[in-house]
Every structure is written in structure tokens, then in C-alpha cells.
Amino acid sequence: MSESRVEVVVFDIGGVLLDWSPDYLYRELIPDVAQREHFLTNVATHEWNQQQDAGRTWAEAVAELTALHPEHAEWIEAYDTGWLQMVNGLIEGTAEIVTELRSQGVPTYALTNFSAEKWEIAKEAFPILAGFTGEVVSGTERTVKPGEQIYRILLERYDLDPARAFYTDDKEANVVAARAVGMQAEVFTDAPTLHTHLKSRGLPI
């Protein structure tokens, strides 16, 4: 398949640039593995957290879940107050790729499922996140990947030609959705593989 020359690179954040997992916090708070898995699977679920990515405030989220599970009030609150402890730093190699692209004048964008509140905290803690040419954050837009709308917002807001935009995400469904709107896209597995994908598309790295 012939591909247009890539001119901009769009990054997912969690799992691509930031090493994020609730386990980093809760393995300290809940040392018992079975108890921890039960809490994260049945109480503070992925679906519950995704509602913050879709625009619900953390105050609302904590209050609603605590009302349902008052016996876990302290652990539920920690998901909010201890959120930064769920980030184990930048993913090795990816930040270097972002920095190199920027140094070569390649515009970089963020397209991420992220709470609007936590995005501001993350940008303060990791300044590389504040340096994107543009950003589209699900919690701000109140729409999440892999829904088509959030990709359209990115392309239209920044007047991007999808055929000349490359996107990477650690979730295959999000990559498939990017391709569906005409972007070039690959699943993120590690930084060296991403480097190969970018170099093969003629980017100066």
C-alpha cells in the first residue's frame, strides 16, 4: 500500500509515553494480591475510571463510588489523591523520540483518553507533555477513543491532513479507529519499533 509522506506525529499518552497502572499505587495500599485484584476489578473498575476520561469530575466519581462501597472509602479516595503514584515515570525511549522529532521541526500532537483534571497534574509533573503542538484530551472534549468524534476533533481543530498524520497507541481498537478516519497508524509495542515505523515513513530521526 502506498502511503503519503508523514508530516506530523500524534501520540497516545498512557502506555506510550507514561507508564501508568493503578497497581503502582495499590500494591502498596493493598498488599494482599487477591484483595487488590478484587478491588480493582469489582470496585474501582476500568469502566468507572473511564467515566473520568469522558468528563466526569473526580469529586463526583469518588462520592458516587464511596456511597456504593463505604467500606472501601479510603482506597477509593486514594485513586484520586494518589493518582500521580500510579505513574511510574516516562516509558523508556519514547520521550527521546518525541524530543528528537521536535528538534527536527516535526509537529507532535497528543490524542489521549485522560481526565482533564489529571492531565494538568501530569503536564506539571512531566514537562514533555506540555510541549505538544496541539492536544486533544477526552476529559475536556467529553468524548473518548475509539469513538470517531475525538479523531475528527483533532484533525479539524489543527487542520491536519489525515493521510500525512501518523498515530500510535497501545490499544489496537484505537489504532483501527485512527486508520478508519484516514490516518496512518500503528500499535505501540516499544520505542525501538516505533522508531522503525517513523523512520520507514521518511521522518528525520
Instruction: List Cβ<8 Å contacts ≥24 apart for 69-74.
Output: 69/43, 72/39, 72/43
pLDDT confidence of residue 4? 78
* pLDDT over threshold 80, residue 19: yes
Whether the Cβ atoms of residue 198 and residue 108 lie closer than 8 Å to each other: no
pLDDT confidence of residue 1? 41
Q: How confident is the model over 31-41, as pLDDT tens digits?
A: 999 999 999 99
Q: What's the average model confidence in pLDDT over 164-189? A: 98
Angle at CA of residue 124, ends 8 and 83, nearest 5°? 105
pLDDT confidence of residue 52? 98
Tell me the whole-structure pTM to 2 decimals: 0.94
* pLDDT over threshold 90, residue 176: yes
Angle at CA of residue 104, ends 155 and 19, nearest 5°? 65
* pLDDT over threshold 70, residue 204: yes
Q: What are phi and psi of 110, to 5 degrees?
A: -110, 135
> For residue 99, what are the CA distances in angstroms to 14, 16, 72, 110, 189?
17, 14, 41, 14, 19
Class of domain 8-17+91-200: alpha beta
The amino acid occupying position 83 is W
